[in-house]
A and B are shown apart, each in its own frame.
Chain A
Amino acid sequence: MVQRNIKSEIDSKLHDPILRSNLERFSEQYPIARAKAYANVDSIEDLRDDLRDMKRYSVAHIEKLADEFQASLEKRGAKVFRAKDGDELKEQLMAICRENNVHNIVKSKSMATEEIRLNDYLEEKGLHVKETDLGEWMLSVAGQHPSHMVMPAIHLNRKQCAKFFSDELKEDIPSDIPFMVQTARKVMRKEFLKADMGISGANFGIAENGAIGLVTNEGNARIVTTLPPVHVIIIGYEKLIPKVSDASKIMRLLPRNGTGQRMVSYLTLVDGPTPIIHEKNGKLIEENKKVYAILLDNGRLKAAHDPVMKEVYQCVRCASCLNVCPIWSTVGGNVYGHIYSGGIGAILTGLLNGMDEFAQFSDLCIGCRRCTTVCPGKINIPDLIQELRNRRVAQKGLSTPEKIIFRRIMTNRKIFHSLLRAASLGQKPVKSGKFIRNLPLFFAKMTEGRSLPAIADKPFRDRAEELFKKNPTNPKMRVAFFSGCNLDFVFPETGESVVKVLQDIGAEVVYPQKQNCCGKPVVGAGDLDTARKLAKQNIKAMEETNADYIVAACPTCAETLKQTYKELFASDPVWLKRAEAMSKKVVEFTVFVEKAYAKENRLKDVQGMKKITYHDSCHMKRSLGIYKEPRELLNSAAGYKFVEMHGADQCCGMAGSFGMKYADLSKQLLNRKIDNIKQSGADTVAVACPACMMQIGGGLDKNAPEIKVKHIADILAENLK
């Protein structure tokens, strides 16, 4: 395996203006096209559920389906092989070529053959192989790889395409798109007519009758499966479905999600040998063509029996997870694995091409979860990536600096916090280098285009006692405040606002001094042992308070306390019980306050002078499902008028250590966010997440200092006396 320099690859993509503008345009248009395609469907959710359930059934019965598919095809006169990996498949295919005296091959879209680099192999063996999908043909001529599963050449412009045409055809082809398409038609038609084998993939394979479905707009799959006298189907196990009627469950979603079409031009269904009329011994005869199918394993069966990873079988390769991914839409698909790109691509690369390849770019998923809102098979893509990262760490261990920071420093709260205090004095050891980016974010140095706030002189924990003197004398409830590192050490004033707002609704607030980092950065890095240590510290600290509620004003901490701890202790009944008991008490700040305000009839529609907009944090909106409550609170905030911004729920680019490791890429996402904030006309942007506050605040400071970023707690506190 080649050791890649992902950072420099990303850098070159960030400086590719053609790629950038193509992707930018596409990511603006895609959600609109998708919505339009679904406009005549009663419920997208019902369709997604149907597809997920059908695919879940399929993976649970994969061996049975494979046997049935094979028997169905054999009964109809096709030959079926099974290949455990690429090498075996290549040998089987070469035998078929020899048996049928094959020289010229035409192919239509097959990701599986890209995965095993079949074309290179066939060419080495002296065969003439042509991809027939226009995009893939251009890329094969250019020696490039597809950057998207559905739109392979989206990173190119017409001039680059014309050059590939000219090079291949050895004549000057102008960069006129209809002319190029007509030229491709002519060139490819010759290939079709002389081909003696057609190789196709399959979008699905139906066990009950052995039919395969092929989805194309160009129609190349229809010609590949019609003209040549031999047809070889190369199909991965994950494409098998039980019945003919199950195909509609794929087809009602795949084109709409993939290309924003209600249906593709050609959905071709081929089942067993079909007639062909061709010349034999000088005269035309009609006979059945020869059909072979090769079922490719290459890691798929192992995944099918993996309790977590079997979820990838729910993928129908529509690539919509890429289309909405903030990283893909900034740098394109070529920075991922050699064939499968984006979030799902990371998982498929890990399972099918190997964990070493996966590990090189696995941190390009920022966990914003936008993909989970569109995936037709409802795959929890970021969770599967996290699971693979965890396994990698369990197998290979952490890097040395991570090991020191996580295991020696963070689990020892006193050392950890004294280091943080030291940072506020600007001491050297935490200032630069690898050491820093693995620590929680606020250790980072200033970066270009974004200023990061300094560590506060006096952390929240040192201010708490004084604040609690103002606790109500007859409290309605007892609330333990879980600050998280950011509100403790970077934004202690926001911590003060939280307390003020809680006291105002009648809460006695307490601050357990023994609370530590919630552990999310450690979980993200895959160090679950350390995460469990932190979880135990926090559960103990919270239990000791005997509070009615535990409130966090950071969605990441709230999610970790409420959800992740239970997962961490899934096989530890004693701690699971304690985690569950605590989880019931954990409430996110805006949800807690909105409920109280609603009870006290304090929610109303206020039209103040200052315009305010709201940025949805990824964890807040898509992990916790909270987006109404913050808006309700802002709508009622005295002195403000609430306005929505475009792309309110798009990631700001912070996303844990990502913002540090890939600072330039993160800055691109931030710039998009800042532009949207500016265009909303707001004077203030409200957030409910301290990490977003840090990122957006830094961006505004450099680019639009007239606009302020405030945590909702600060806005609510302003209006309290």
Chain B
Amino acid sequence: MKKICHEWQKYLDKGFIDKKYWESFKENAQAASVELKEIKSYDEALPIIEALIDEVNAQKLAGVGQDDSKAIMNIYHELGKKHQIYTDKFAITENAPILDIGISTAEFGVGETGSICVDNYSYEARLVSMLPPINIVFMNKNNIVDTMTEAFEILEQVFDKGYTGFVTGPSRTSDIERVLTLGVHGPSRLILFAVDE
């Protein structure tokens, strides 16, 4: 999958990340309506996703990021046994308007705001994270930086061209009577698996 950087971890490890930022990340992400799932390994995500598929009666899924992670590839493989899940970029594109759940990845989180940094240079990564009503995201729980200042210091080193950014909770609007409503253009649910890798 096309990314703005294939060595995020190398830059994150330059003293930006620390476990101590987790608590404020958690608080801010939940305040922004992120459904946060702390798990010890990728396998723990499977039953949770299965339950979600049942809950919303999902018919079609799509996922990206398997070429960078064996664990994610394995999840897609397992899900594929019982469900329709697209992982090929052309198949994702073809089915994008009718997807129920999209699965993608994030590089790191920001403690100050509860945001996740997403490397979405690839077209299919943007489709799966924006078009379906539910977006599931996998992120390394240990990759949390302190504030937006540090987040942009990392970007300054890795962002030469392409498409990236920060996602903080699901799509929302308050344009009618300032009443908060989730899921206007993008997903109404953002489920974040923070994996303690």
Contacts and interface: CB of A to CB of B under 8 A. Distances in A.
A630 B185 CA distance: 52
Contacts of A138: 175-176
Contacts of B114: 262-263
Contacts of B162: 271-272, 274
Nearest to B97: A193
B161 interface: yes
Interface residues of B, number: 57
A269 interface: yes
B122 A265 contact: no
B109 to A, nearest CB: 11
Contacts of A185: 183-185
A573 B90 CA distance: 74
Contacts of A193: 97
B155 A244 contact: yes
B169 interface: yes
A254 B186 CA distance: 22
Interface string A518-542: 0000000000000000000000000
Contacts of B170: 265
A251 B175 contact: no
Contact of B130 (A219, A259, A263): A219
A270 B24 CA distance: 28
Contacts of A135: 173, 175-176
A30 to B, nearest CB: 10
Contact of B123 (A25, A209, A277): A277
Nearest to A157: B177
A263 B113 contact: yes
Interface of A is mostly: mixed
Given A153-B175, A218-B184, A252-B147, A262 B123 contact: no
B124 interface: yes
A158 interface: yes
A209 B160 contact: yes
Interface stretch (A82-90, A176-184, A448-456): A176-184
A40 B112 contact: yes
B80 to A, nearest CB: 21
Nearest to A219: B186
Contacts, number: 194
A211 interface: yes
Given A157-B177, A184-B184, A218 B123 contact: no
A195 to B, nearest CB: 13
A151 B86 CA distance: 38
A245 B176 CA distance: 34
Contacts of A213: 165
A683 to B, nearest CB: 38
A222 B93 contact: no
A59 to B, nearest CB: 21
Nearest to B92: A277
In this complex, the interface size class of chain A, counting residues with CB under 8 Å from chain B, is 35 or more
Interface in B144-174: 147-149, 151-153, 155-156, 159-174
Contacts of A333: none
A245 B153 contact: yes
Nearest to A275: B123
Nearest to B122: A275
B61 interface: no
Interface in B97-123: 97, 110, 112-115, 121-123
B172 to A, nearest CB: 5
B186 A266 contact: yes
B28 interface: yes
B181 A177 contact: yes
27 contacts: A135-B175, A161-B177, A181-B176, A184-B184, A209-B161, A217-B172, A218-B172, A219-B171, A222-B126, A222-B165, A243-B156, A244-B155, A248-B147, A248-B153, A251-B152, A262-B31, A262-B32, A264-B168, A266-B165, A266-B166, A267-B115, A270-B163, A271-B160, A274-B163, A275-B122, A276-B123, A277-B89
Given A211-B159, A245-B149, 20 more contacts: A25-B178, A40-B112, A135-B176, A156-B176, A211-B161, A217-B172, A244-B152, A245-B152, A251-B148, A261-B32, A262-B31, A262-B114, A265-B167, A265-B169, A266-B171, A269-B163, A269-B164, A271-B159, A275-B122, A284-B90
Interface of A: 22, 25-26, 40-41, 76, 132-135, 138, 151-154, 156-158, 161, 177-178, 180-182, 184-185, 188-189, 193, 209-211, 213, 217-220, 222-223, 225-226, 243-248, 251-252, 259, 261-272, 274-278, 284, 286
